[in-house]
Amino acid sequence: MSEVIELEQLTKTYESGFFASQDVHALKTLDLSVHHGEIFGYLGPNGSGKTTTIKMLLGLIFPTSGTIKILGREDIDSPDIKQRIGYLPEGAYYPDFLRGDEILRFYGQLYQMGGKALERRIDEVVELVGMGHARRRLMKGYSKGMRQRIGLAQALMSDPDILILDEPTTGLDPLARKEIRDILAGLRDAGKTLLISSHELAEVELISDRVGILYQGVLQTMGTLDELLKDRSTTFEIENLASDKLKALSDAGIDAEDHTDDRVLLKIPASMPVYDAIALCKAHDAQIVSMAPKRETLEELFVRIVGSAEAGTQPETPEPAAAG
Amino acid sequence: MSAPDSLRGIWPIAVYTWREGIRKKTLIGFLILSLLVIFGSMFMTAFMAGIDYSPSGEINIDVESKLVKDVCVSAIAIFGVLIAIFTSASVVPQELENRVIYTVLSKPVRRYQYLLGKFLGVQMIVIANLLLMSVLFFIALWIKEQIIPTLLLWSTLLTYFQFLIVSSFTFAISCAATSSVLPTIAGLFIYITGNLTNYLNDVFKRSSGSDNPFESAVAEVAFYLYAILPNLRNFDLKDQILYLAPNDPPAGILIPNLILYGVLYALSGYLLAFWLFRRKEL
């Protein structure tokens, strides 16, 4: 599997304080790789180093140490590498006095496109992002979702191999999110490589092939969703039960996850056979209403990983996958 | 014939800068004020015509004309340089603030190309404003005197090169700044000191050769400042406009030399901008 983006021992340290006397470590020896044709979810809380990484990939800021390779090359600032990268920043601004297709014409010209080829490409990308009907409207008449689509369209102008998207669905309504998600999945299916930085974990979980979770400049974990979301369990919904019986179940390894007025949700650990759990419930007069298999969500994994990192403990997940 | 790779991207950025810049309320405000002053000068002289200035009870036509020229040339210089400073000081910090710079520099655009495009866009705004103000001044003068003095045309040209110098250094400082406040102040400082460099020369002449170490130090500082700072008074033809015949050639100056002087200072300003921006963390 070929690597499209490779980061090796990437470190970024900012000088802070009145006499630049303090060092702020935004990234610490980051090893990360993004494979060809995948959607990579780059996650982390605010200030974890995601934007710093993206800015270094785009040559907007410079590493303190370490190497960046894009498409196997270290000269990431060269025009022919940038020609193959599309970028959508978070909360991008587009002037109100321009029309949708004028914005695309401007960005297309920066890719050294012109004439009929440029107009043809504008036609293609506005159709791709579903903006054909509104391309001649002024930006001030655009909704947030429409602006985001135009932003995505400008990132696609050069038909890039790599797309770097910062919060592509944040602030959009559910319908617009679904449409953007479908577009991104379609791009992946067309062979593009996508690096998505987002706080919308449910969205990322739906479309990502692999994810990496960053916290305080350190990659805490990286892998496919199947590798990372291993914590599978079963939940039993039971009729309300006396507290002594719940305690007895807890002692046997079945914890109550949630209570409502007349129901209790029990979490059956993956290590316990379901038939044993049923037998235990029966032994304690617990009336089972429903049973459901459950897999840990990306959000739960994220909270667990970041929580462990904050507490300085080792999270119970597979070891971070090695770069590459 | 297509543009070479090193120049592509510059023109779209310049046009974008121009289109955005001409919509700025501050600039429109300055322009309206300058136009009010230019046309106001005509009404002012009309009002003064009723004042008893001479034994015959009429204002001297020459004084009236000088007043219009004086007010208009000053208005163009002041409002023009304010427009140049505010535009130059804000184009780069504004794009940092609204993140347009990230999308532009993530494209195959080199930093020097981006800066050239922005600088060119600024100059288009400055030139357009100067031309608009000058044309209205010429119209005002035509209504008054039915002439368009060639001296005024030369003055307009040289005024632009004065703006170019101030604009280039303001732009350079804005490339190191995160907001437009500091470069605006710096631009005003450059304009004011650039008009006072003759005084620095006087200070140097008076203080040099003194036994007093403080005065010697002052002389040295004055000398270096005089040598480094552009002398913007060189571009000022106001006295000649007021006192020479309208179609006299500019006296005591060599226009090509002054243009070269302006271009070299502007080039230094641009190179400083590039040096400051080359490795700037965005």
For residue B4, the model assigns a pLDDT of 63
Judged by a CB distance cut-off of 8 A, whether residue B105 touches chain A is yes
Q: What are phi and psi of A169, to 5 degrees?
A: -115, 5
Spatial contact of A109 and A118, defined as CB atoms under 8 Å apart: yes
Does B34 fall in a domain?
Answer: yes
Residue B71: strand, helix, or coil: helix
Judged by a CB distance cut-off of 8 A, whether residue B100 touches chain A is yes
Pairing relation of β-strands A39-43 and A210-215?
Answer: parallel
For residue A322, the model assigns a pLDDT of 43
On chain B, the residues whose CB falls within 8 A of the CB of A95 are 19-20
Helix (H) or strand (E) holding A235: strand A232-239
| Chain A residue whose CA is closest to B17 | A95
Alpha carbons within 13 A on the beta-carbon side of A278: 7
Spatial contact of A58 and A5, defined as CB atoms under 8 Å apart: no
Q: Count the domains in chain B.
A: 1
Judged by a CB distance cut-off of 8 A, whether residue B25 touches chain A is no
Superfamily of domain A3-84+160-228: P-loop containing nucleotide triphosphate hydrolases (3.40.50.300)
CB contact under 8 A, B279 and A62: yes
CB contact under 8 A, B98 and A109: no
Tell me how far apart the alpha carbons of residues A57 and A152 are, in angstroms, rounded to a whole number: 18
Does B206 fall in a domain?
Answer: no
Does B219 fall in a domain?
Answer: no
Tell me how far apart the alpha carbons of residues A39 and A126 are, in angstroms, rounded to a whole number: 22
CB contact under 8 A, A97 and B19: yes
B103 → closest Cβ in A89, A109, A112 = A89
| Chain A residue whose CA is closest to B282 | A60
Interface of A with B (CB under 8 A): 55, 58-62, 79-80, 82-83, 85, 87-93, 95, 97-98, 106-107, 109-112, 114, 154, 158, 164
Spatial contact of A184 and A110, defined as CB atoms under 8 Å apart: no
Rounded to the nearest angstrom, the minimum Cα separation between A61 and chain B is 5
For residue B51, the model assigns a pLDDT of 53
A82 → closest Cβ in B13, B107, B281 = B107
Comparing A313 with A171, which gets the higher pLDDT? A171
> Residue A323: which pLDDT band, with cuts at 50, 70 and 90?
very low
Does B56 fall in a domain?
Answer: yes
Q: Provide the number of CB pairs (under 8 Å) joining chain A to chain B.
A: 74
CA B204 to centroid of chain Cα atoms: 27
Torsion angle of the four alpha carbons B138, B195, B277, B21, in this order, in degrees rounded to the nearest 10: -30
Does B165 fall in a domain?
Answer: yes
CB contact under 8 A, B102 and A87: yes
Does B222 fall in a domain?
Answer: no
Query: What would the two tokens of residue A262 be?
Result: 């007349």
Pairing relation of β-strands A255-259 and A263-268?
Answer: antiparallel
On chain A, the residues whose CB falls within 8 A of the CB of B98 are 93
Contacts 24+ apart (CB under 8 A), A260-268: A263/A237, A263/A238, A263/A239, A263/A289, A264/A237, A264/A238, A264/A239, A264/A240, A265/A235, A265/A236, A265/A237, A266/A235, A266/A236, A266/A237, A266/A238, A267/A233, A267/A234, A267/A235, A267/A294, A268/A233, A268/A234, A268/A235, A268/A236
Residues within 8 A of A (CB atoms), B 107-136 only: 107-110
Alpha carbons within 13 A on the beta-carbon side of A138: 5
Tens of pLDDT, residue by residue over A52-81, are 999 999 999 999 999 999 999 999 989 889
CB contact under 8 A, B108 and A111: yes
Does B1 fall in a domain?
Answer: no
Tell me how far apart the alpha carbons of residues B39 and B32 are, in angstroms, rounded to a whole number: 11
Tell me how far apart the alpha carbons of residues B42 and B259 are, in angstroms, rounded to a whole number: 32
Within chain A, all domains assigned CATH 3.40.50.300 are found at 3-84+160-228
Rounded to the nearest angstrom, the minimum Cα separation between A223 and chain B is 28
* CA pseudo-torsion sign B258, B263, B268, B269: positive
A93 → closest Cβ in B9, B100, B282 = B100
Rounded to the nearest angstrom, the minimum Cα separation between A323 and chain B is 25
Which residue out of A14, A98, A110, A140 would a mutagenesis test of the B interface target, given it has the greatest number of B Cβ atoms within 10 Å? A110
Residue B85: strand, helix, or coil: helix
Does B188 fall in a domain?
Answer: yes
Domain range for B73? 10-195+236-277
Torsion angle of the four alpha carbons A310, A314, A318, A322, in this order, in degrees rounded to the nearest 10: 80
Domain A232-294, what fold? Answer: Alpha-Beta Plaits (3.30.70)
Judged by a CB distance cut-off of 8 A, whether residue B278 touches chain A is no
On chain B, the residues whose CB falls within 8 A of the CB of A55 are 102, 282
Rounded to the nearest angstrom, the minimum Cα separation between A116 and chain B is 15
> Residue A324: which pLDDT band, with cuts at 50, 70 and 90?
very low
Tell me how far apart the alpha carbons of residues A230 and A223 are, in angstroms, rounded to a whole number: 11
Within chain A, all domains assigned CATH 3.30.70.120 are found at 232-294
| Chain B residue whose CA is closest to A156 | B107
On chain A, the residues whose CB falls within 8 A of the CB of B9 are 109-110, 112
C-alpha distances in angstroms, A188 versus A159, A320, B159, B169? 13, 24, 56, 47
pLDDT in tens, chain B (282 residues): 455 666 778 999 999 999 988 888 888 888 888 888 887 877 776 666 555 455 554 555 567 777 777 888 888 899 999 999 999 999 999 999 888 999 999 999 999 999 999 999 999 999 999 998 888 888 878 877 777 778 888 888 999 999 999 999 999 999 999 899 999 999 999 999 899 888 888 888 888 777 888 888 888 888 888 888 899 988 887 777 777 766 677 777 788 888 999 999 999 999 999 999 998 988
> Residue A7: which pLDDT band, with cuts at 50, 70 and 90?
very high
DSSP letter, residue A255:
E
